[in-house]
Chains A and B, each alone.
Chain A
Amino acid sequence: MSPPGRSFVRGPAWLLVRRRLVQAPLVLLFVLVGGFLLLEAAPGDAVDAYVASLGGDAGLVHELRERWGLDRSPATRFILYLAGLATGDLGRSVAFDRPVLAVIAERLPVTLALAGGATTFAFALGTGLGILAGARPRGPLDRLLSAAALVLNATPSFWLGLLLALLFAVHLRWLPLAGIETIGAGYTGAARLFDVARHLVLPVSTLGLVYAALYLRLMRAGMVEAWRSDFVRAARAKGISRRRLVLRHVARNALLPVVTMLGLQSATLVGGSVVVESVFAVPGLGRLAAEAVTQRDFPLLLGILIVSALLVLLVNLLVDLLYARIDPRVELGARAP
């Protein structure tokens, strides 16, 4: 990433990383305070959620509230939580009766596989088709792809998921419908990897298709804009081939907003995958977050928020580094004027 002859630790990339590392604790604190206040504002607490589903009497309600520390003031609970966090303790999940870290560690790989797979699929498909559409704006292929993207973009993910499930799992029976592995199969190594990959095809496709439509539209719009630029006219005048013109000049310049979207999308993937995780019974962080809210499990929800915020910070850092790679005009580490 650094220009030749400059070491990373002295280069602009390091400056950017250092600045983000300084910002990270502030971002995390903001996220934690916001998450805690939102959950506090919601009516009912973890004991209400527990007795609403499993019943109980006044004595049990009192006992549980004491046992789970809910008889203390919100401020005391939050300070105790922060004190625990300072020692690396994310607390104990009320809903699962297990350490938060263990619960999240179980689900995180699944979410990373789902979100990573969906992002890769969406980015590759969306930009690829976007280049095809933007190569000849208003041509028949552009019109077809733009219409398809519009339809796909307007399709609710749960509905798309169910349609794909009905086609590929129920009627054709090519793919498994739900879960992430064959229960009790005892696969190991490559066989297990293949089994998990098969189970992820439908959820990854569902999540990826919706975002692919977005990338397609962005890429296509960026290319339409780029076609009007002076440098494209100049390149044309120089007589370079159309293929080279499209890929090296038009598409490359249209890529920046798509990469920006990649960063933003990563922030929404954890939340956005709740529906897809529910439809395909994928045990990921999105479903876990929804359960944490329903159960008013504030240690678990705050733990998920911390992990999500860290993921977003990391992805955005990578996106910023990628900017400079794509467009040399972008100066890493530079402050806004």
Chain B
Amino acid sequence: MPLSRRHLLAAATSPFVVPTAPVLAREPHRGGVLVVAADTEPRNLNPALVASNGVFYVASKVIEPLAEMAYGEPGFTPRLALGWQGSADGKSFTLRLREGVRFHDGRPFTSADVAYCALELWKKHQNLGRVFFVDLEAVDTPDPRTAVLRFAAPMPAQLIENALPALTAVVPRHLFEGTDPLANPHNQKLVGTGPFRFVEHRPGQYYRLERNPDYWDAPKPHLDGIVYRVLPDRGAIAAALEAGEVHLAAFSAVPLADMQRLAKLPGIAVIDRGYEGITYLVTVEINHRRKELADVRVRRAIAHAIDPNFVVERIFLGHAKPAIGPIPRFDARFHTADQPTYPYDPKRAEALLDEAGLPRGPNGVRFSVELLPAPWFEQTRQMGDYLRQALKAVGIEAKLVVKDPAGHQKAVYTDHAFDLAIGSPVYRNDPAISTTILYQGGLPPGVPFSNQYGWADPAMDELIARAARTLDPAERAELYRRFQRLAAEQLPLIPVVEFTFLTVASTRVHGVADNPRWAVSNWAETWLDA
């Protein structure tokens, strides 16, 4: 795992992160079963149908995408595709596929598998693909090693390339064709081309994977297998790490407060890399159907009332950064710091609220709102507590309404029964894949993690549509910089902080965090000390 001086420096200054530099000098050891903590068991584990980090965490070791993200240039590592190229008109995208790859049942992987997955799974059923591949018309397979995606309207090659890691997992056509894909048993009993084969899932207990001896990248993987132990209690995960019953817990599965203690123990390392490609934001979602909140001055006042540094230091214990717009800094291709910002300034917030015709009443309250913090993360719930206090300081009374995931989804994204909500959208390597949906107008109710805020701006919609069709990468990047400036100016939602996760692992585990999506990549390079 190459560690740059910048990374080592960052690790050294981080509150409790242990750099994994000693790995550099060591030869990987072959063997051993890595025991990993898991806290969920997704109903559908097939990443060709469900592009979600909870699914990838287990499934990415068994079922591979066409390419994976990598640190540095060009930003990708080939997996099932060796190379790719878009046509000048943007209507086709040619993939050159790897030779000699076999599925775990012994059948060869060919372009027919890619064609089937693209047209029948990604486009028709996948949560992200249903929107992303809407213009995909056909997939030509002139030979077993070539697949040509054909689109009805121009698609930027850059956008398709950026989608390869998350949206293009390939499962065998021969096991899915002619079946109802959503009810196929191989959505649980996975068959893929990855470094590990699926052995069994005992619900409520564990998933067990074993080494694929016929992996195309032999002699990898280094591990004999991976066991995901289902541990629903976060305190128990910390104890399991201490007891040596679990080697690794990803996605900040251990409470941050426990992490500080664990980092001081011998034999345990806390690693803060390997998630940059799936950076999350904490946002304040605003219901523009509410008269007061439809006024941009009020939204700006709310932004001024929030102290992102407090959120970083007290809620994330230093493991986050104040957000500058909806695109995280890691994606330097699209992110711009050149956009309006709203520094913490309660006095300015109060002045803006006065200006908006919302003076403090006799009880000191300007107006009241219902605030729904998303239940997904400990930090989104804590952000709800903080925001209530921050708003009170400027005269806005917030009533906290806490719901479970189904209740939150219905209230915010279907019924629009909220005034403010705390959200946590994830960035997926391109604004068109994950981010513009937060700003696009006219979406039907019920779509999670999208603009259900009642905000619509024709200028923004036009910008989003243009950027999604612009073929030239430089021009496209410029359009997204304009998108960020408009988003910051109008502030339909308020990005507060950007954060990634931490991995806690035994120091016996090596080859951790070697790409920006490590936790959801294939772990072929991960190994355990003898």
State the A residues within 8 Å of B (CB).
42-46, 48-61, 67, 94-97, 103, 106-107, 158, 162, 165-166, 169-170, 173, 176-181, 183-184, 278-281, 283-284, 287-288, 294-296
A-B pairs with beta carbons under 8 Å apart, 27 shown: A43-B410, A52-B448, A53-B42, A54-B42, A54-B44, A54-B52, A57-B131, A58-B446, A59-B130, A60-B130, A61-B446, A61-B447, A106-B204, A107-B204, A162-B236, A165-B239, A169-B239, A173-B243, A177-B243, A179-B205, A179-B206, A179-B229, A180-B205, A183-B35, A183-B205, A183-B229, A294-B406
Residues of A within 8 A of B54 (CB): 53-54
What is the bound-complex CA distance between A246 and B407, given in angstroms? 56
Bound CA–CA A106/B194 (angstroms): 30
Bound Cα distance A44, B448 (Å): 13
Residue of A49, A60, A97, A181 with most chain B CB atoms under a 10 A cut-off:
A60
Q: Are A283 and B127 in contact (CB under 8 A)?
A: no
Tell whether, in the assembled complex, residue B127 and residue A60 are in contact, meaning their CB atoms are under 8 Å apart. Answer: yes
Question: Can you name the residue of chain B whose Cβ is closest to the Cβ of A169?
Answer: B243
Asked whether, in the complex, the Cβ of B43 is within 8 Å of the Cβ of A50, the reply is yes
B233-273, CB under 8 A of A: which get 1 and which 0?
10110011011110000000000000000000000000000
Chain B nearest CB from A99 CB (Å) reads 13
Q: Is the CB of B202 within 8 A of A48?
A: no
Closest 5 CB pairs of A and B: A283-B204, A44-B406, A49-B406, A52-B409, A44-B410
* Residue pair A51, B448 in contact (C-beta under 8 Å): yes
Interface residues as binary, B32-53 with A (CB distance below 8 Å gives 1, 0 otherwise): 0101000010111000001110
Chain A residue at smallest Cβ distance from B240? A177
Per the bound structure, the CA–CA distance linking A288 and B230 in Å amounts to 13
Q: How far is the CA of A279 from the CA of B127 in the complex (A)?
A: 32
Q: Are A184 and B227 in contact (CB under 8 A)?
A: yes
Q: A183 contacts which of B227, B406, B407 (Cβ < 8 Å)?
A: B227
User: Complex: how many Å from CA A94 to CA B44?
Assistant: 11
Q: Are A184 and B235 in contact (CB under 8 A)?
A: no
Q: B409 — which chain A residues lie within 8 A by C-beta?
A: 44, 48-49, 51-52
Q: CB within 8 A of A278: which of B130, B131, B232?
A: B232
A42-B406 contact, Cβ under 8 Å, with A55-B52, A179-B206: yes
- Chain B contacts of A294 at CB under 8 A? 404-406
Chain B positions within 8 Å of A44 at CB level: 403-411
With both chains docked as a complex, state the minimum distance between the C-beta of B35 and any C-beta of chain A, in angstroms.
8
A58's nearest neighbour on chain B, judged by CB, is B444
Residues of B within 8 A of A281 (CB): 204-205, 229-233, 236
Cross-interface CB contact of B50 among A52, A54, A178, A283, cutoff 8 Å: A54
Task: Tell me the complex Cα distance, A179–B44, Å.
Answer: 23
Q: Is the CB of A58 within 8 A of B447?
A: yes
Contacts of A284 in B (CB 8 A): 204
Instruction: With both chains docked as a complex, state the minimum distance between the C-beta of A164 and any C-beta of chain B, in angstroms.
Output: 10
A55-B50, A106-B203, A162-B235 given. 11 additional CB < 8 A pairs? A43-B407, A44-B407, A48-B407, A61-B446, A97-B187, A107-B204, A162-B239, A180-B205, A278-B233, A288-B204, A294-B405
Structural contact, A279 and B403, CB atoms closer than 8 A: no
Q: Hey, which chain B residues are within 8 Å of A106, CB to CB?
A: 203-204
Is B294 interfacial (CB-CB < 8 Å)? no
Q: CA–CA, A162 to B258, complex, Å? A: 13
Q: B135-193: which residues lie under 8 A (CB-CB) from chain A?
A: 182-183, 187-188
A103/B206 in contact, CB under 8 A: no
Number of interface residues of B (CB under 8 A): 57
Q: Which residues of A contact B205 (CB under 8 A)?
A: 179-181, 183, 281, 283
B493-518, CB under 8 A of A: which get 1 and which 0? 00000000000000000000000000
Name the A residues within 8 Å of B42 (CB-CB): 53-54
Question: Does B455 touch A at the CB level, under 8 Å?
Answer: no
Which of A45, A57, A169 touches B447 (beta carbons < 8 Å)?
A: A57
Q: Closest A-chain residue to B407, C-beta based? A: A43
In whole angstroms, what is the CA distance A278 to B232 when docked? 6
In the complex, the answer to whether A178 meets B245 with C-beta atoms within 8 Å is yes
Do the beta carbons of B204 and A53 come within 8 Å of each other?
A: no
* A53-B405 in contact (CB<8A): yes
B412 to chain A, nearest CB (A): 10
What CA separation (Å) do A280 and B239 show in the bound complex? Answer: 10
CB distance from A153 to the nearest CB of B (A): 22
In the bound complex, residues from chain A placing their C-beta under 8 Å from that of B202 are 283
B1 within 8 Å of A (CB atoms)? no
CA gap between A283 and B205 in the complex, in Å? 6
Q: Is the CB of A287 within 8 A of B236?
A: no
Are B447's CB and A56's CB within 8 A?
Answer: yes
Chain A residues with Cβ below 8 Å from B187 are: 97
Best-surrounded residue of A43, A97, A103, A106 (most CB of chain B within 10 A): A43
In the complex, whether B369 has a CB less than 8 A from a CB of chain A is no
Residue ID in chain A nearest B33 by CB atoms: A184
Q: How long is the Cα–Cα vector from A91 to B125 in the complex, in angstroms? A: 25
What is the CA–CA distance of A60 and B33 in the complex, to the nearest angstrom? 38
When chains A and B are docked, how far (Å) is the Cα of A166 from the Cα of B238?
A: 10
Question: What are the residues of chain A within 8 A of B447 when measuring CB–CB?
Answer: 56-58, 61
- In the complex, what residues of A have CB within 8 A of residue B230's CB? 281, 283
A54 to B53, CA, bound (A): 9
Given the complex, which residues of A lie within 8 Å of B188, measured CB to CB?
97
CB distance from B233 to the nearest CB of A (A): 5
Residues of B within 8 A of A184 (CB): 33, 208, 227
B187, B202, B414, B446 — most chain A CB neighbours (10 Å): B446
Check A103 against B203 for contact (C-beta < 8 Å): yes
Give the distance to chain B from A199, nearest Cβ to Cβ, in Å: 11
Q: Which of B125, B203, B243, B406 has the most CB of A within 10 A?
A: B406
Assembly CA distance A165 to B246 (angstroms): 14
Contact in complex: A57, B236 (CB < 8 Å): no
B128 an interface residue at 8 Å Cβ cutoff? yes
Q: Find the A residue at minimum CB distance from B375.
A: A52
B62 near A: Cβ within 8 Å?
Answer: no
The interface residues of chain B lying within 8 Å CB-to-CB of A166 are 239, 242
Do the beta carbons of B448 and A56 come within 8 Å of each other?
Answer: yes
Specify which of A50, A173, A176, A288 lies most central, judged by the most chain B CB atoms within 10 Å of its CB: A50
Closest residue of B by beta carbon distance from A280: B236
Complex Cα gap A50–B410 (Å): 11
Most buried by A among B42, B51, B414, B448: B448
Docked Cα-Cα span, A169 to B44, in Å, equals: 33
Give Cα distance in the complex from A281 to B239, angstroms: 12
Which B residues touch A288, using CB under 8 A? 204
Residue among B55, B131, B236, B243 making CB contact with A54, cutoff 8 Å = B55
Nearest opposing residue in chain B for A51, CB measure: B448
In the complex, whether B71 has a CB less than 8 A from a CB of chain A is: no
Contacts of B342 in A (CB 8 A): none
Q: Report if B84 contacts A (CB, 8 A).
A: no
- Taking CB as reference atom, which chain A residue is nearest B417? A43
Residues of A within 8 A of B130 (CB): 56-57, 59-60
Q: Does B76 contact A (CB under 8 A)?
A: no
